C-alpha cells in the first residue's frame, strides 16, 4: 500500500514547469478547474527556456530550436571516419575519439536507466547518428597551441534519423563537442524520453588556452578514484589541465622508478602511493577527457619527507623548530642547492615523471624559499662565501636560488632528451619586483600568479612578456575559509570564496585595473587550487565543485555579464556533476532550482538561461 | 615488478612510533647503525601514550594498562544473560543489546579484514568474552531521565581468555560501553593483530542528558543512507539525539498516512520522500545506536510547500513577494491561526509522527513568525478585531501566536492519547524578554536557544526554570561560513566555525558569564544544527563531522581543559569516523597525525592523550 501511494505520485505528476519570461516556473499540472495545463519536465524547460540551452560553459555562438526530438538511447552511432573514408581508429587521436564516443554512449545509457539497468524511458525514439570530421585526426596531445574549437550541427534527416555533425581541428575540439551534445540530450521525466533539440548550430572555442585545477596530494593523500572524479567533472566543464602537485614537505607519494626509496620513506603509509601504473592510468583517463595531466615537482623549498634516505646534507631545515623561523607551515624542509647529488636525484625524478606523464609542459614549483633556513646552514653559507655572495642579503640568497633553478632546469631538459619544454614556476622570490628578468627567461618560463589579483607585480610580468596563469588567491584558493589547523580561529586566507566571486574573477578586468591592455599580454588562463592541509579523498569533490566550474565558464566563454546571469545554469550544472558521481557542494535549496527567480537578494539582479 | 616494490614496503616497515613525553613520535625502525629500535604501530602508540587511551569522548574515570593482549577477532562472545540466568533476549531492551552486540562483532571484523574479507591480521589470539549485566534490562526507550552511565572492566582469565564485564542500568549505558570497548581494540599493522589493553577499569557517564544533532531535510532532501551515516557517527561519538527538522517552507518530504497529499504536493520529486517504512527504519537504526530520533513539525511559520492542496486560506504569504517583507528567506509561508482546518491537519500530522517515531519528546518548532505577514492578511486582522486584539502591535500578534501554540499543543496531546510529553520550542517571539512565562509553561516547554551564547535572555530563561538546550549559533550552526545563496559574499552567520570553537563552547562557562550559577539551572545539553540551504546528501557528512564530535566530548566529559588538550584525539577520532564510512572533513595534514606536537601555533599550547 505504502509503495503504491508513492508510486502514484510518480505516475500522476502534480507539478510541471512553464517557461515564463525566460524563467522556469513550477505550476500545477491541473488548474483550479481541473483542466490540464501545457507543462514541461524541468529538464526540458531548462533546455528550451532562454537562449543558452542550459549549457555550461556557455558556447560562444549557439542556436538551438525549441522543438525537441526523441532520441533512442540504444541506437546511437558515432562515425569517426573522415570525408576521405579514412578510419580514425588508425590514428592515435582517432583511438581517443573511439574512447570518447564510447563514453558519450555510456552517458546517454546512464541518463536513460537507473543503476540496475531498468529503463526510465519508453522504448522507441529516433536513431542518433554522429559524424565527426577532423582536420588533424592524428593529434593526440594537447599543447598550449592546440585548437580546441568545434562546430556542432544537429538536423533531422528525411528518413527520420537525427544527424549530428561535429567539425573540429582535432580530437580535443571534437571531445568538447561531444560534451556539449551530451548536455543537450536530457531525460524528460514526463514524456519518459531522452530528448534533443531538433536543430542545433553551435560554433564554439575557448577564450583562454589554459584552464586548470591544481590538486595537492602531499599534505593529504587523495585516492586515484577521487582524482578520476575530479577529471570527470573537469571534462564536463571543459577544463583542460589537471595540475598535480604530487609532492611537498609533508609526504612523497609518487613512486619513482629511478629512486624507489623516495616513496618508501616519504609515503604516509605503504598504501598511500601513486604507482607508475596508476600515474599512466590517470594520464590516459585525463587525455580521453580532454585534460592534460601536468606534473609539479616543487623545489627547492616544499621538500622534506621522502628525502631522509639521501644523506649528504641534501636537505636542510627538515622538521626544523620553531618552524615559524624556517618556513610558512610545519614541517619545514628545503633542498641544499650546493650539493651535487640533489641535482642527480632531481634529474632522475624528472626522468621518471616525463616518461610517465609524457607532458607537453612541466611545473617546477619554486615558491616560498626561506632564506633564513639557508642562512642558518653552515655549508650553504660557506659555499656562498666561496662564490663571493657573502653579503648574506636577500639578493645574495636569490643568486643561490638562481643557481639552483638553472641547474635544475638543465636537468629537466636533459631528462627530456635535450628538448626544452614550457616550464611553469610560481610567483615568489625569483619573481621579485624589478628583478624577475634577471633570473627567468620569459621565453622559457610561464609564471603562475598566486598573489592577489591587484598585485602590481602582475603589470610588470605582463609588460615583460611573461606568459601568465592566474591563481590569484582571493578568488581561486579553494582551501580558504575553514578552521585554522595550527592554532584556532579561521585559516589564513579566509573567508570562504563563493562561486560568485570565482565566476567574476575576470582576468581582463584585473589587467585593465592594473593599467594593462589585455590584448597586449600573454595570459594563458587561470587555475583553481586545492591545497589539501584540510581536505583529502573525502572532501576533494565538495571543495572543488561546483566552484571550479564557475571558473571554467569564465575561462571558456569570458562573458561580459557577471554571476547573476549564470546562476540558474550554474545550479543546473551542479546537478549534472552530482549525476556524474561527483559529490559537488549544494549552492542553494533545491527549491530555488525549481522556482527560478525567487531566490534573489535585490530585484535588479536576476538570472537568465 | 611494480606491485612487488610496493608490497615490499608493506612487509618491511621503515617507520614506527615511540611514545615520548606523551606524544607519539615517528621514528625510523632502524637507527643509523642499522639496529632495530623498539617501535610501535601508530594505533598502538596512540592507544597507550598518555592517559586517555585515545578514547572519544574521554571517559570520566579510566585506567588502562600499557600492556596489550591479542584479540582473536573471530572468537568474540557477548553474553547477554543476567546474573540470575535470565536471557535478555526476552526483554525489549535485551533484543536491542543483541543487535548492538552483533554490530560490535561486525566492527571488529571490519578492522581485521579488508573489503573482500582478506584478513589484515594473523590467525590466532585470545577469545574475548563480554558479559553484560543490566539493572533494568527491559528499558528500550531513551528519556531525559535515562541513566546512560556504565562501568567497563577488562581482565585476563587464568585460562587465557580475555574477560570483559559491562555493568549498566540499561541498554543505553551498555551500548556506550560497547562503543568504548570498540575504540580500545585497535589494529596493530606491525604485529598484524587486533589488540586490547590487558587491564581496563572505566566508570563513565555523560555530563548532560541531551546531546543532539539537528538535520534539516526540507531545504534540501537528504537520503536515508546519509541519515544513517549521521547516526553511525553519532553512535561513535556517544551523541544521543537526532533532531529531524523534517519539513519547512521549501519542501514537505514526510509521507503522512493521514494526509498523503502533503508529500504529493510538497516533495521536491516523487522519489525525495520519507515513507513510513523508512521513518520506522531510521528510528530503529538510531535506537540500537543509542540515539533517539526526535521529530520536529515546525509551525506556525516555516511552512509552505505541501499545503497547496488544503485551500480554505489555511496558509498565508506563501511565496509572497518581495520575500524580505514577509519572512527571513525565500520562500515565505505561515499557517493561518484563525482557520480550524489547520488544527485538524496538524493533529493528523502529529498522530502520524507520534505513531512512527514513538518519541519520548516532541519538537514543535515555533520560530520566526513574521507579524507583518499576518498583519497583511485580512481574515487574520478581522479575527483579531473580534478578539479585541486590535492594536496591531507586537503584543497583539504574540497573543495570536499564543492562541495558535495552545491549540496546536492540545492537538499534540490529543494525538498522544491524552498524555503530555516534553515539548521543545525555539527561542523566538514567544520567548521575548520579560514575556516568555506569559506564553510558555516551564513544566511543559523546553527552550532551544539559537541566539548567541551571551544573550541576556538565557539568564532570564534559566532563572525562570526553563529546561534549556543550547544551539547558540556562533558555535553550533554548522552551515555558517560558506558563500551566500541569495546575493553574493558570504552567508549570514559567517565565518566558518572551527572544531576548536565548538569544543570550547562550554555551557557552564556561558552561564557563569551571564551571572547564572550552572548548578541552579536545568541545562539539558546542546545541539549542533545543520540547516541545509547549502548542503544535501553529498555534503552532510563533511559539514557535521568531525565538528559534531567536538561538541560530543564537551557534552559528555565537560572537560576543564580546552581544545588544545583534545587535539590529538580529535584527529584520531576523525580517522575513526572515516573508517565507519563517514566522509568527515580532514582537519589537518596527515603529517600532523603522524608527528604529534609539531603542528602548533605557539609553544605553550600542546595536545595530550
pLDDT (0 to 100) of residue B116:
80
Q: Which of B9, B276, B602 sits opposite A264 (nearest CB)?
A: B9
Q: How does residue B4 score in pLDDT terms, banded at 50, 70 and 90?
A: very low
State the smallest CA–CA distance between residue A109 and chain B in angstroms: 20
Q: For chain A, first and last CA: distance in Å?
A: 41
**Contact indicator for A427, A433 with CB cutoff of 8 Å:** no
Using CA atoms, how far apart are residues A554 and A563, in angstroms rounded to an integer? Answer: 10
Contacts of A481 in chain B (CB under 8 A): 481-482, 490, 495-496
Residue B151 annotated as catalytic:
no
**Rounded average pLDDT over B114-143:** 93
State the smallest CA–CA distance between residue B422 and chain A in angstroms: 30
C-alpha cell at B400: 495570536
**Greater confidence, B172 or A603?**
B172
Residue A289 has pLDDT above 50, yes or no: yes
Q: Catalytic residue among B91, B243, B302, B593, which?
A: B302
pLDDT digits 0-9 by tens, B36-53: 999 999 999 999 999 999
Which of A310, A486, A586, A587 best probes binding to B when mutated, by most B CB atoms within 10 angstroms?
A: A586
**Contact indicator for A410, A344 with CB cutoff of 8 Å:** no
User: Are A601 and B487 within 8 A, CB to CB?
Assistant: yes
User: Are B498 and A488 within 8 A, CB to CB?
Assistant: yes
Cα dist from A272 to A25, A69, A231, whole Å: 49, 48, 20
**Rounded average pLDDT over A57-79:** 96
The β-bridge relationship of strands B200-204 and B61-64 is: antiparallel
Q: Which of B263, B267, B601 sits opposite A487 (nearest CB)?
A: B601
State the smallest CA–CA distance between residue A159 and chain B in angstroms: 37
Q: Closest chain A residue to B308 measured between Cα atoms?
A: A28
State the smallest CA–CA distance between residue A158 and chain B in angstroms: 38
pLDDT (0 to 100) of residue B608:
57
Contacts of B480 in chain A (CB under 8 A): none
Q: Closest chain B residue to A581 measured between Cα atoms?
A: B538
pLDDT (0 to 100) of residue A5:
42
Q: In what order do the strands lie in the sheet with A61-64?
A: A61-64, A200-204, A150-156, A162-168, A126-134, A68-79, A193-197, A186-188
pLDDT (0 to 100) of residue A607:
53
Q: Which of B273, B538, B595 sits opposite A584 (nearest CB)?
A: B538
pLDDT (0 to 100) of residue B609:
60
**Contact indicator for B439, B398 with CB cutoff of 8 Å:** yes
**Contact indicator for A295, A244 with CB cutoff of 8 Å:** yes
Q: Which of A3, A220, A323 sits opposite B586 (nearest CB)?
A: A220
Contacts of A499 in chain B (CB under 8 A): 483
Residue B84 has pLDDT above 80, yes or no: no
pLDDT digits 0-9 by tens, A299-317: 999 999 999 999 989 999 9
C-alpha cell at B373: 505577514
Contacts of B263 in chain A (CB under 8 A): 9
Cα dist from B226 to A63, A583, B186, B295, B382, whole Å: 41, 12, 26, 17, 46
Secondary structure in 3-state letters for B561-591: CCHHHHHHHHHHHHHHHHHCCCCCCCCCCHH
pLDDT digits 0-9 by tens, A487-507: 999 999 999 999 999 999 999
Q: Where is B3: in which H helix or E strand?
A: helix B2-11
State the smallest CA–CA distance between residue A104 and chain B in angstroms: 25
Residue A72 has pLDDT above 80, yes or no: yes
pLDDT digits 0-9 by tens, A385-398: 999 998 889 999 99
Cis ω before A601 (30° cut-off from 0): no
**Share in percent of chain A as helix, strand, coil (round to 5):** 35, 20, 45
What's chain A's average pLDDT?
Answer: 94
Indicate the length of chain A as a whole number.
609
pLDDT digits 0-9 by tens, B570-587: 999 999 999 999 999 999
Q: Which of A264, A330, A485 sits opposite B14 (nearest CB)?
A: A264
pLDDT (0 to 100) of residue B581:
97
User: Are B308 and A585 within 8 A, CB to CB?
Assistant: no
Using CA atoms, how far apart are residues B449 and B360, in angstroms rounded to an integer? Answer: 20
pLDDT (0 to 100) of residue B117:
80
User: Are A2 and B255 within 8 A, CB to CB?
Assistant: yes
pLDDT (0 to 100) of residue A87:
67
User: Are A588 and B535 within 8 A, CB to CB?
Assistant: no
pLDDT (0 to 100) of residue B3:
45
**Rounded average pLDDT over A351-376:** 97
The complex's ipTM works out to: 0.96
- B36 Ramachandran zone, left/alpha/beta (phi>0; psi -120 to 50): beta
Q: Which of A221, A330, A483 sits opposite B598 (nearest CB)?
A: A330
Using CA atoms, how far apart are residues B460 and B466, in angstroms rounded to an integer? Answer: 9
pLDDT digits 0-9 by tens, A518-550: 999 999 999 999 999 999 999 999 999 999 999
Using CA atoms, how far apart are residues A166 and A59, in angstroms rounded to an integer? Answer: 14
User: Are B585 and A535 within 8 A, CB to CB?
Assistant: yes
Residue B57 has pLDDT above 50, yes or no: yes
pLDDT (0 to 100) of residue B8:
43
Domains identified in chain B and CATH numbers: 57-204 (3.30.379.10), 210-560 (3.20.20.80)
User: Are A590 and B270 within 8 A, CB to CB?
Assistant: no
For chain B, how big is the Rg over CA atoms in Å?
A: 26
Question: A473 by DSSP, 3-state: which?
Answer: helix
Cβ count within 10 A of residue B416:
16
User: Are B498 and A481 within 8 A, CB to CB?
Assistant: no
**Contact indicator for A375, A310 with CB cutoff of 8 Å:** no
Q: How does residue B2 score in pLDDT terms, banded at 50, 70 and 90?
A: very low
User: Are A532 and B589 within 8 A, CB to CB?
Assistant: yes
Using CA atoms, how far apart are residues B64 and B47, in angstroms rounded to an integer? Answer: 9
Q: How does residue A49 score in pLDDT terms, banded at 50, 70 and 90?
A: very high
**Rounded average pLDDT over A29-33:** 92
User: Are B250 and A489 within 8 A, CB to CB?
Assistant: no
pLDDT (0 to 100) of residue A602:
77
pLDDT (0 to 100) of residue B89:
63
Residue A357 has pLDDT above 90, yes or no: yes
Contacts of B586 in chain A (CB under 8 A): 220, 532, 534-536, 538-539
State the smallest CA–CA distance between residue B379 and chain A in angstroms: 22
**Contact indicator for A152, A204 with CB cutoff of 8 Å:** yes
User: Are A268 and B594 within 8 A, CB to CB?
Assistant: yes
pLDDT (0 to 100) of residue B199:
98
Using CA atoms, how far apart are residues B271 and A398, in angstroms rounded to an integer? Answer: 62
**Contact indicator for A101, A108 with CB cutoff of 8 Å:** no
Residue A86 has pLDDT above 70, yes or no: no
State the smallest CA–CA distance between residue A460 and chain B in angstroms: 30
pLDDT (0 to 100) of residue B83:
54
Residue A461 has pLDDT above 90, yes or no: yes
Give the rounded percent of residues in chain B with a pLDDT score beyond 70: 95
Catalytic residues of A: 248, 302, 368
- How is A403-453 classified by DSSP, letter by letter? HHHHHHHHHHHHHTTT----EEEESSGGG-TTTHHHH--TTTEEEEE-S-T
pLDDT digits 0-9 by tens, B354-403: 999 999 999 999 999 999 999 999 999 999 999 999 888 999 999 999 99
**Rounded average pLDDT over A344-369:** 98
**Contact indicator for B527, B208 with CB cutoff of 8 Å:** no
User: Are B250 and A590 within 8 A, CB to CB?
Assistant: yes
pLDDT (0 to 100) of residue B188:
97
User: Are A219 and B589 within 8 A, CB to CB?
Assistant: yes
- How is A508-572 classified by DSSP, letter by letter? HHHHHHTT--GGGSEEEEEEEEE--TT--TTTHHHHHTTHHHHHHHHHHT--SS-HHHHHHHHHH
pLDDT (0 to 100) of residue B392:
87
Q: Which of A14, A220, A563 sits opposite B264 (nearest CB)?
A: A14
Alpha-carbon torsion (A546, A548, A550, A552), positive or negative: negative
C-alpha cell at B255: 509521507
Residue B1 has pLDDT above 50, yes or no: no
pLDDT digits 0-9 by tens, B139-158: 999 999 999 999 999 999 99
Nearest residue to B591 via CA among A244, A543, A253, A227: A253
Q: For chain B, first and last CA: distance in Å?
A: 41
Amino acid at each position: 500500500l505504502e509503495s503504491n501511494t508513492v508510486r502514484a505520485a510518480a505516475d500522476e505528476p502534480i507539478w510541471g514547469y512553464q517557461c515564463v519570461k525566460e524563467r522556469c516556473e513550477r505550476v500545477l499540472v491541473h488548474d483550479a478547474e481541473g483542466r490540464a495545463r501545457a507543462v514541461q519536465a524541468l529538464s526540458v524547460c531548462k533546455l528550451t527556456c532562454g537562449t543558452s540551452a542550459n549549457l555550461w560553459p556557455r558556447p560562444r555562438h549557439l542556436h538551438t530550436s525549441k522543438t525537441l526530438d526523441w532520441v533512442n538511447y540504444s541506437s546511437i552511432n558515432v562515425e569517426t571516419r573522415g570525408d576521405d573514408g579514412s578510419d580514425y581508429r588508425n590514428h592515435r587521436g582517432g583511438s581517443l575519439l573511439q574512447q570518447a564516443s564510447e563514453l558519450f554512449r555510456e552517458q546517454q545509457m546512464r541518463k536513460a536507466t537507473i543503476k540496475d539497468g531498468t529503463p526510465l524511458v519508453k522504448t522507441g525514439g529516433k536513431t542518433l547518428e554522429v559524424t565527426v570530421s577532423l582536420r588533424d585526426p592524428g593529434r593526440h596531445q594537447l599543447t598550449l597551441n592546440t585548437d580546441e574549437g568545434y562546430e556542432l550541427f544537429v538536423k533531422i534527416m528525411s528518413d527520420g534519423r537525427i544527424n549530428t555533425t561535429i567539425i573540429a581541428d582535432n580530437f580535443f575540439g571534437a571531445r568538447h563537442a561531444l560534451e556539449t551534445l551530451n548536455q543537450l540530450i536530457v531525460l524528460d521525466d514526463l514524456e519518459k524520453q531522452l530528448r534533443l533539440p531538433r536543430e542545433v548550430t553551435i560554433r564554439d572555442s575557448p577564450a583562454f588556452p589554459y584552464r586548470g585545477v591544481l590538486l595537492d596530494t602531499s599534505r593529504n593523500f587523495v585516492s586515484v578514484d577521487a582524482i578520476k572524479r575530479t577529471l570527470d567533472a573537469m571534462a564536463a566543464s571543459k577544463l583542460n589541465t589537471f595540475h598535480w602537485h604530487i609532492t611537498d614537505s609533508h609526504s612523497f607519494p609518487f613512486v619513482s622508478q629511478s629512486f624507489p626509496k623516495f616513496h618508501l620513506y616519504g609515503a604516509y603509509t605503504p598504501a598511500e602511493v601513486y604507482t607508475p601504473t596508476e600515474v599512466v592510468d590517470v594520464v590516459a583517463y585525463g587525455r580521453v577527457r580532454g585534460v592534460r595531466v601536468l606534473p609539479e615537482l616543487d623545489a627547492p623549498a616544499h621538500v622534506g619527507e621522502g628525502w631522509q634516505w639521501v644523506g649528504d646534507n641534501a636537505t636542510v631545515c627538515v622538521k626544523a623548530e620553531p618552524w615559524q623561523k624556517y618556513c610558512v607551515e610545519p614541517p619545514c624542509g628545503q633542498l641544499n642547492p650546493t650539493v651535487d647529488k640533489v641535482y642527480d636525484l632531481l634529474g632522475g625524478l624528472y626522468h621518471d615523471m616525463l616518461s610517465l606523464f609524457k607532458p607537453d609542459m612541466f611545473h617546477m614549483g619554486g615558491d616560498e624559499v626561506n632564506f633564513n633556513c639557508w642562512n642558518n646552514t653552515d655549508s650553504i653559507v660557506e659555499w656562498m662565501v666561496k662564490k663571493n655572495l657573502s653579503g648574506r642579503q636577500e639578493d645574495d640568497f636569490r643568486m643561490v636560488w638562481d643557481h639552483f633553478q638553472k641547474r635544475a632546469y638543465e636537468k629537466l631538459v636533459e631528462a627530456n632528451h635535450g628538448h626544452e619544454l614550457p616550464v611553469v614556476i610560481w610567483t615568489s622570490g625569483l619573481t621579485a619586483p624589478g628583478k624577475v628578468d634577471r633570473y627567468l627567461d620569459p621565453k622559457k618560463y610561464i609564471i603562475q600568479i598566486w598573489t592577489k589579483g591587484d598585485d602590481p607585480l602582475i603589470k610588470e610580468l605582463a609588460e615583460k612578456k611573461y606568459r601568465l596563469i592566474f591563481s590569484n588567491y582571493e578568488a581561486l584558493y579553494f582551501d580558504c575559509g575553514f578552521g585554522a589547523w595550527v592554532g584556532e580561529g579561521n585559516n589564513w586566507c579566509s573567508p570562504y570564496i563563493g562561486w560568485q566571486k570565482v565566476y567574476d574573477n575576470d582576468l581582463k578586468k584585473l589587467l585593465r585595473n592594473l593599467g594593462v591592455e589585455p590584448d597586449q599580454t600573454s595570459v594563458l588562463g587561470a587555475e583553481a587550487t586545492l591545497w589539501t592541509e584540510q581536505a583529502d579523498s573525502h572532501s576533494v569533490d565538495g571543495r572543488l565543485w561546483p566552484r571550479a566550474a564557475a571558473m571554467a565558464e569564465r575561462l571558456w566563454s569570458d562573458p561580459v555579464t557577471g554571476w547573476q546571469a549564470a546562476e540558474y545554469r550554474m545550479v543546473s550544472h551542479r546537478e549534472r556533476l552530482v549525476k556524474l558521481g561527483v559529490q559537488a557542494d549544494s549552492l542553494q535549496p533545491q527549491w530555488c532550482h525549481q522556482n527560478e527567480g525567487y531566490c534573489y537578494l535585490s530585484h535588479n539582479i536576476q538570472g537568465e538561461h
